[in-house]
Amino acid sequence: MGFSTALQGRAAHEALIVRQDAELRLMETMKRTIQMKAKCDKEYAISLIAVAQQGLKIDRADEMQGSLITKSWRSYMDELDQQAKQFKLNAEQLEVICDKLAHLSQDKRKARKAYQEEHAKIAARLNHLTDEVVRKKSEYQKHLEGYKALRTRFEEHYIKAPGRSGRKLDDVRDKYQKACRKLHLTHNEYVLSITEAVEVEKDFRTVLLPGLLEHQQSVQESFILLWRNILLEAAQHGDLTADKFKEIQKRIDTVISGINPTEEYSEFTEKHKTSPTTPLLFQFDETLIEDIPGKLTASTLTVDNLTVDWLRTRQLELESAVKDCQERQLKIIEHVNGGSPVANGSIISNGSSASNGIQSNKDSQNRQSKDLNALRCQEKQKQKLVDMIKCALNEVGCEELPSGCDDHLSLEQNFIEHGFNNEQQRSNSTSSPGLGIMNELMRRGGVLTLLRGRGRHFKRKSTPQPTTPMARMRPGRFSKMQPRSQSLGSLSLSLSTNRPLYEEEWFHGVLPREEVVRLLNNDGDFLVRETIRNEESQIVLSVCWNGHKHFIVQTTGDGHFRFEGPPFPSIQELIMHQYHSELPVTVKSGAILRRPVCRERWELSNDDVVLLEKIGRGNFGDVYKAKLKSTKQDVAVKTCRMTLPDEQKRKFLQEGRILKQYDHPNIVKLIGICVQKQPIMIVMELVPGGSLLNYLRKNSNSLTTRQQMGMSRDAAAGMRYLESKNCIHRDLAARNCLVDFEHSVKISDFGMSREEEEYIVSDGMKQIPVKWTAPEALNFGKYTSLCDVWSYGILMWEIFSKGDTPYSGMSNSRARERIDTGYRMPTPENTPPEMYRLMLKCWAADVESRPHFDEIYNVVDALILRLDNSH
């Protein structure tokens, strides 16, 4: 069924017109879409070329000379470059297709117009004859009525006066005859009109309209054929399975398959061939014991009353290690000989070929062999030490152990008599009977160790007893404990129990774990902090020791504190014990406290900040106007909600960490952070004018062009400073700027900032201010300082529009779509042309075409100078 038989009705004709309109709109949509596809392919080609160029930047390539994998990589990058060129060629072909669609659309509009005109023409002919028949019928009816009336009158006169004649009768007869003639003529015209209308209607229905519709169907189908061919052509230029791409991929596969592991290092091995490694000689340095009286002998274990317990303990540890090595060797041997899936090569990772499975099996066997050899070496090494200790202990046998230090008794006595008379008196008055001063001193952490020679084997690991009356009296005497190393200068461990823990310099309050890790840099660095777990406060000791370790301070039933060792009545004494004794916090960790890390100068006390009134709300909590007790200074305080996880608190403190190193009149100044208690707070200077956005809206009627340009210059000055520090703000907008006295603008809100030349978003694009963000950041997640330049252009527009919303009336997605197609906001009213041109430069689609902030500042400053001189 075709157009000629199915679409003759009026409704069908109107539907055909509507369909043609819809097809024209579809063509326009396709054209725009293919244009966007061409643009995307071009951008992808540019990105792919950049990838290939980056891949070819191989530093010190001479060190990889002869490498098959380097050669394959270069070929791979070259093929990527070819792919990029093919994508660019495809994009150019798509632009040609867009032109074809545009021409097809024009032709279709002409065909639609011709069809409408022809249909109207033949329909008008039929309508005209239809109207003519109706008119003739109306005339027929009128003349018929006149004829009937005159005939009746003629008959009446003729009957009344038969055979008579006269003027009146003649007049009646003439009128009757004229009416009769008109009636007959009208009758004939009506008959002819009907006959003509019948023929025209028949031709319209059977010849003209079907012919027009049949022709139109042919035209429509011809357009569909052309349309289809255009779409096929467009699809072909986007076909990644086409032969041209297959050939590139085939070449890539070929060069990568050419990598032969057995040949990869042949040239390297030949070039760097060396003789076998010269054995290292480890010898005991006999100069260490030249000035030490006693029985210490080079390369020989000393067994005496000072070392025997340690040697026996060490022997047990080593024997346990030997046994462990032997058990692990047995497990590996059983695993290999026991027909495990890996040994049989029956496990192949998903998606791998059989050869990969064999290679994996080979690698696994090699790894097992290597592990077995390593364990055998460890066993031999440990066994050597066991035999050496056994031999030394066997030589002593059951004899009385020799003294390790001949003069230690006299030394102790002299120490007691001259150094601690007062202490002895206190000890005698408070200790239980029979408890000597020497035992008391040893229980306090090995005080005698400080006086005994250089050998570490002299050190006594006496266990402190902090619960004794003597221990409770120690705070006065050990109120300050100087660090062991002279290089630590004035750092000290404060151990006073007369003040709360949060006043200790090494207590960092609720500083998040990530911030703590940043402060602990060297092995032995430590600090104490507070954390909240399951709504319960816990004190944590954080130590840098082969990484970062965090120990929760355990609380005993009687309110004392401990780790693995003895309990103490205060956390300060617990930390003193760990620091002074040099014992590991836990045996497993081995962590030793060497240097307390004190609070940084910008860590303020929470109690020094008095919150006055709420002045705003941020992403992490409320913002307050506050006062510092110590200086009576008014400040602005950002607070962090206590319920936020540590990750969010870390992001909150990031702003403070960035701001603390900046000092510029157009950057809001950091006064400090408060982390000793909840809530965490960032304390900044109070800028009296508040948000720039609110200021613009409130003062829209009084702002002058000079003031607006000054605000733009201030913002450019602040951003120029940040750019020099490799800081990317990422959220530059009027709402995140503050206004000081005399309209001076300060950059604020560094919560999204990053200190690096280039930042790639890895955690998604949530909470991104779309209308202020550069297209490359939205599309690829790539931020540089030139992204801030785009945002600065939006900020300028906000300033000169006096606080209007950018892209007003558009959703984020719509604004983003319009920007990608080249749309830029029009100039705000009364904006100097030079300032609008600067905005447009900031909004350049090509990133490298945008000006840097140094150039922006100079341009705005020159315009202000020229404006001032003109007045």
* Residue partners of 744: CB distance under 8 A and separation at least 6: 665, 666, 710, 714
Is 228 known as a binding-site position?
A: no
Beta bridge partners of 544: 548
**3 state SS of 472:** helix
Pair 164, 105 in one domain: yes
**pLDDT, tens digit (0-9, with 9 covering 90-100), for 486-533:** 333 334 444 444 678 877 888 888 877 877 888 899 999 999 998 877
Same domain, 140 and 217: yes
What was the pLDDT predicted at 395?
64
In which band, very low, low, confident or very high, does the pLDDT at 359 lie, cut at 50, 70 and 90? low
Helix (H) or strand (E) segment spanning residue 539: strand 536-544
Residue 351 assigned as binding residue: no
Residue 125, marked binder: no
| Domain end marker among 596, 617, 649 | 596
pLDDT at 846 over 80: yes
- 692 near 749, Cβ under 8 Å? no
For residues 728 and 755, the model is more confident at 728
CA dihedral 480, 484, 489, 494 (to 10 degrees): -20
Look at residue 26 and tell me whether its pLDDT is greater than 90: yes
Residue 658 DSSP label:
H
CATH number at residue 850: 1.10.510.10
Longest CA pairwise span in the chain (Å): 190
Calpha distance 185→179 (Å, rounded): 10
Residue 351 included in any domain = no
Q: What is the mean pLDDT of residues 311-327?
A: 89
Q: What angle do CA 110, 114, 119 make, to 5 degrees?
A: 150
Q: Looking at residue 358, what is its pLDDT?
A: 52
The answer as to whether 365 is a domain residue is yes
Which residue type sits at 102? A
- pLDDT of 779 > 90? The answer is no
Phi, psi for 599 (deg, rounded to 5): -60, 145
- CATH code (residue 127): 1.20.1270.60
Q: What is the residue-averaged pLDDT of the chain?
A: 80
Q: Where are the beta strands (DSSP E) in 741-853?
A: 745-747, 754-755, 758-760, 782-784
The pLDDT tens digits for 54-112 are 888 775 556 777 788 888 888 888 889 898 998 899 999 999 999 999 999 999 999 99
- Quick one: 681 and 732 in the same domain? no
At 791 the pLDDT is 96
Answer for the pair 38, 95: CB distance below 8 angstroms, yes or no. Answer: yes
Rounded to the nearest 10 degrees, how much is the dihedral formed by the CA atoms of 235, 240, 244, 250? Answer: -160
My answer on whether 103 and 138 are in the same domain is yes
- Give the separation between CA 584 and CA 582, rounded to whole angstroms: 7
Q: Is residue 260 part of a domain?
A: no
Is 809 a known ligand-binding residue? no
pLDDT digits (tens, 9 = 90+) for 366-399: 778 878 888 888 888 889 888 888 887 776 553 4
Q: Are 446 and 461 in contact (CB under 8 A)?
A: yes
Distance from chain centroid for Cα 107: 49
Residue 618, annotated as binding a ligand:
yes
**pLDDT score for 498:** 60
Q: Using CA atoms, how far apart are residues 391 and 396, in angstroms rounded to an integer?
A: 9
Q: Which of 685, 702, 736 is the last residue of a domain?
A: 685
What is d(CA 766, CA 87) in angstroms, rounded to the nearest whole number? 31
Whether residue 569 is preceded by a cis peptide bond, meaning omega within 30 degrees of 0, is no
Within 10 angstroms of residue 71's Cβ, the number of other Cβ atoms is 14
Instruction: Check the annotation: does 638 bind a ligand.
Output: yes
Domain that holds residue 586: 465-596
Checking if the pLDDT of 615 tops 50, the result is yes
Structure tokens at 96: 């040609």
Active-site residues, by number, are 731
Query: Greater confidence, 591 or 518?
Result: 591
Burial of 187 (0-12, 13-18, 19+ CB in 10 A): middle
Token readout for 125 is 């002919």
Dist CA 235 CA 308 (whole Å): 86
The structure tokens listed for 105 are 């659309």
User: Which amino acid makes up residue 809?
Assistant: G
In this structure, of 62-71, 261-270, 470-479, 645-654, the range with the lowest mean pLDDT score is 470-479
- Collapse the DSSP code of 597 into the 3-class scheme (helix H, G, I; strand E, B; otherwise coil) and give the result: coil
Query: 152-164 burial, b if ≥16 CB within 10 A, otherwise e?
Result: eebeebeeeeeee
When pLDDT is cut at 50, 70 and 90, the band that residue 470 belongs to is very low
The verdict on 191 and 42 lying in the same domain is: yes
Asked whether residue 268 is domain-assigned, the answer is: no
Q: Where is pLDDT greater, at 291 or 732? A: 732
Q: Is 615 annotated as a binding residue?
A: yes
Are residues 555 and 608 located together in one domain of the fold? no
Whether residue 482 is found in the same domain as residue 629? no
The pLDDT assigned to 331 comes to: 85
3-state secondary structure of 645: coil
pLDDT at 756: 63
Range list of H helices, 161-208: 167-203
pLDDT-based confidence at residue 734 (cuts at 50, 70, 90): very high
Q: Are residues 657 and 709 in the same domain?
A: no
pLDDT for 860: 96
**Is residue 382 domain-resident?**
yes
pLDDT band for position 6 (cuts 50, 70, 90): confident
Instruction: With beta carbons less than 8 A apart as the criterion, state whether 529 and 511 touch.
Output: yes
Q: Are residues 609 and 591 in the same domain?
A: no
Q: Is residue 348 part of a domain?
A: no
CB 783 within 8 A of CB 768: no
What is the pLDDT, as a whole number, of residue 795?
97
Q: What is the pLDDT of residue 528?
A: 93
DSSP 3-state of 219: helix
Q: Are 234 and 94 in contact (CB under 8 A)?
A: yes
Instruction: Check whether residue 382 and residue 497 sit in a common domain.
Output: no
Using a 10 angstrom Cβ sphere, with 0-12 exposed, 13-18 middle and 19 or more buried, the burial of residue 649 is buried
Convert the pLDDT of each residue in 235-292 to its tens digit.
888 788 888 888 888 888 888 888 888 787 777 777 777 777 677 777 787 778 777 7
Return the top range by mean pLDDT from 340-354, 384-398, 510-524, 625-639: 625-639
How confident is the model at residue 440, as a pLDDT? 36
Tokens 């090995």 -> residue: 446
The rounded radius of gyration (Å) of the Cα atoms in the chain is 49
Nearest to 218 by CA among 12, 73, 3: 3
859 vs 353, 710, 713, CA distance in Å?
63, 12, 9
pLDDT score of 429 more than 70: no
Has residue 297 been placed in a domain? no
Do 476 and 608 lie in one domain? The reply is no
Stretch 608-635: mean pLDDT: 88
Total number of domains constituting the chain: 5
- Is there a binding annotation on residue 619? yes
Residues 554 and 671 in one domain: no
Average pLDDT over residues 574-578: 92
- Identify which of 241-250, 441-450, 650-659, 664-673 has the greatest average pLDDT: 664-673
323 found inside a domain: yes
Domain boundary residue, one of 237, 269, 295 = 237
Rounded-to-integer distance, Cα 776 and Cα 71, Å = 33
